[in-house]
């Protein structure tokens, strides 16, 4: 049996205490978590991938990881909606940034895949992009570990197009490439938040043929958050899920700092609630991409991305561990309940 001292030594090291070191002071790791080098082992690694050479419109997502980290300083350690301390029940670290070639997309994809493979052998990943090109090499690493992956993709855009200017590896094509490479579980992938003009009607049927069902953004009006969660959980089942959040799934009012904004998007409140509905799902890793700080104002987009990261870390904390029994049967209903619950603020002070 472990002594109390040993148990303490094994307890995760959390963020810096905001009452001791002001939140605006010090180096900006994600949520002011320890760096990879600071702990002997870790369960989840936040990994920056500053790469935006795959964009088709506004550039600048290479500065996304640094911006999200800066905007994450105010995150506190307890999640009252999910009743979990995501930094307390798992060791989360900031693993810094991958150094990738900005001039050679093929080489960059190889570097990202190698970095994701190395790190995912030790931990689950929360990847901070970068443009959406980076999801392909991360999915290759996920497939190597888990087999076919159910991708849960939040985005205004399908990202299942074939080529741009004849180029196959861009931020609009990662999920077509992933499907072609056999990385996806084609019965269980889902887009949420799709909206805006397409090139032609075949874009949607192509996307379905590549493995993706779709919850269109406008369906939030009729389904509501709880209905979207039900459809999401039904589609994902108990498969290994990779969650990819393109921040442009949010309306430009909630995320102006992005490369290809589309009107009519989700509110940040809706997105965070739907993410909470993943509680208990078998999430293997996740990303947040397309934050382009040059177009941001007052950290609006950065703060949204930081909170998306916090919810993703929370549902990772509530995912079944490797070797654990299968996902609870009751979880989809429970997830809907939890996503729509209002925390009881009279139950006691949570944290400063
Ligand atoms: Mn997009
Ligand atoms: Mn995208």
pTM reported for the whole predicted model: 0.92
Residue 179 contacts residue 160 (beta carbons within 8 Å)? yes
Residue 242 C-alpha to ligand 2 middle, in angstroms? 14
**Residue 54: nearest ligand to its CA?**
2
User: CA 118, 174, 113 angle in degrees (round to 5)?
Assistant: 15
Residue 153 C-alpha to ligand 1 middle, in angstroms? 10
Torsion region of 175: left, alpha or beta (phi above 0 gives left; psi -120 to 50 gives alpha)? alpha
pLDDT tens digits for 214-227?
999 999 999 999 99
The C-alpha atoms of residue 282 and residue 148 are separated, in whole angstroms, by 13
Q: Which CA distances in Å does 344 have to 278, 293, 328? A: 21, 35, 25
Joined tokens for residue 259:
């490369």
Residue 260 C-alpha to ligand 1 middle, in angstroms? 6
Residue 156 C-alpha to ligand 2 middle, in angstroms? 7
- Residue list, CB under 5 A from ion ligand 2: 132, 155, 159, 246
Residue 132 C-alpha to ligand 2 middle, in angstroms? 5
- Tell me what pLDDT residue 330 has: 46
**Residue 245: nearest ligand to its CA?**
2
What is the average per-residue pLDDT within 250-257? 98
Residue 246 C-alpha to ligand 1 middle, in angstroms? 5
Question: Does residue 180 have a pLDDT over 90?
Answer: yes
pLDDT tens digits for 110-145?
999 999 999 999 999 999 999 999 999 999 999 999
Residue 155 C-alpha to ligand 2 middle, in angstroms? 6
- Tell me what pLDDT residue 68 has: 98
pLDDT tens digits for 73-91?
999 999 999 999 999 999 9
- Tell me what pLDDT residue 325 has: 46
Residue 159 C-alpha to ligand 2 middle, in angstroms? 6
The C-alpha atoms of residue 304 and residue 207 are separated, in whole angstroms, by 27
Residue 128 C-alpha to ligand 1 middle, in angstroms? 15
The confidence band for 270, taking pLDDT boundaries of 50, 70 and 90, is very high
Residue 89 C-alpha to ligand 1 middle, in angstroms? 32
What is the DSSP pairing of strand 124-129 with strand 212-216?
A: unpaired
Residue 184 C-alpha to ligand 1 middle, in angstroms? 19
What is the average per-residue pLDDT within 324-335? 50
The confidence band for 2, taking pLDDT boundaries of 50, 70 and 90, is very low
Structural domains of the chain, with CATH: 8-341 (3.40.800.10)
Residue 58 C-alpha to ligand 1 middle, in angstroms? 12
Joined tokens for residue 304:
């949204």
Give the percent of the chain with pLDDT over 70: 88
Residue 303 C-alpha to ligand 1 middle, in angstroms? 18
The C-alpha atoms of residue 141 and residue 113 are separated, in whole angstroms, by 6
Residue 50 C-alpha to ligand 1 middle, in angstroms? 17
Residue 5 C-alpha to ligand 1 middle, in angstroms? 48
pLDDT tens digits for 6-53?
545 579 999 999 999 999 999 999 999 999 999 999 999 999 999 999
Residue 341 C-alpha to ligand 1 middle, in angstroms? 29
pLDDT tens digits for 236-249?
999 999 999 999 99
**Residue 129: nearest ligand to its CA?**
2
What is the average per-residue pLDDT within 152-180? 98
- Looking at every residue in the chain, the average pLDDT score rounds to 92
Q: Which CA distances in Å does 168 have to 61, 115, 161, 207, 259? A: 19, 22, 9, 16, 19
Joined tokens for residue 198:
């397409």
Residue 306 C-alpha to ligand 2 middle, in angstroms? 18
- Tell me what pLDDT residue 336 has: 60
Question: Mean pLDDT lowest for which of 55-69, 138-152, 319-333?
Answer: 319-333
Residue 287 C-alpha to ligand 2 middle, in angstroms? 11
- Tell me what pLDDT residue 335 has: 59
Question: Does residue 331 have a pLDDT over 80?
Answer: no
Determine if the peptide bond prior to 130 is cis (ω within 30°). yes
What is the average per-residue pLDDT within 284-288? 98
Residue 337 C-alpha to ligand 2 middle, in angstroms? 29
- Tell me what pLDDT residue 196 has: 96
């Amino acid at each position: 049996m472990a002594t109390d001292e040993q148990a303490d030594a094994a307890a995760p090291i959390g963020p810096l205490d905001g009452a001791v070191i002001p939140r605006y002071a010090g180096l900006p790791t994600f949520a002011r978590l320890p760096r990879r080098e600071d702990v002997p082992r870790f369960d989840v690694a936040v990994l920056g991938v500053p790469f935006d050479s795959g964009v088709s419109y506004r550039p600048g997502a290479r500065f996304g990881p640094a911006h999200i980290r800066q905007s994450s300083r105010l995150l506190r350690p307890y999640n009252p909606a999910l009743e979990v301390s995501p930094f307390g029940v798992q060791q989360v670290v900031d693993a810094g940034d991958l150094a990738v070639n900005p001039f050679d997309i093929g080489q960059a994809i190889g570097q990202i895949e190698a970095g994701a493979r190395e790190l995912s052998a030790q931990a689950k990943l929360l990847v901070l992009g970068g443009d959406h090109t980076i999801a392909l090499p991360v999915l290759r690493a996920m497939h190597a570990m888990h087999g076919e992956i159910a991708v849960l993709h939040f985005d205004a855009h399908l990202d299942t197009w074939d080529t741009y200017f004849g180029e196959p590896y861009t931020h609009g094509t990662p999920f077509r490439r992933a499907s072609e490479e056999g990385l996806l579980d084609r019965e269980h992938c889902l887009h949420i938040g799709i909206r805006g003009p397409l090139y032609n009607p075949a874009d949607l049927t192509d996307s379905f043929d590549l493995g993706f069902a779709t919850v269109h953004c406008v369906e939030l009006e009729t389904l509501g958050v709880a209905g979207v969660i039900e459809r999401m959980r039904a589609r994902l089942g108990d498969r290994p899920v990779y969650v990819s959040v393109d921040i442009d799934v949010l309306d430009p009012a909630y995320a102006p700092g992005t490369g290809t904004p589309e009107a009519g998007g989700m509110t940040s409140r809706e997105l965070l609630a739907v993410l909470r509905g993943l509680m208990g799902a078998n999430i293997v890793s996740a990303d947040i991409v397309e934050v382009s700080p040059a177009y941001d104002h007052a950290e609006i987009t950065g703060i949204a991305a930081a909170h998306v990261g916090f919810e993703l870390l929370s549902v990772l904390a509530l995912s079944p561990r490797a070797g654990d029994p299968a996902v609870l049967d009751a979880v989809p209903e429970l997830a809907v309940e939890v996503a729509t619950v209002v925390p009881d603020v009279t139950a006691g002070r949570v944290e400063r």
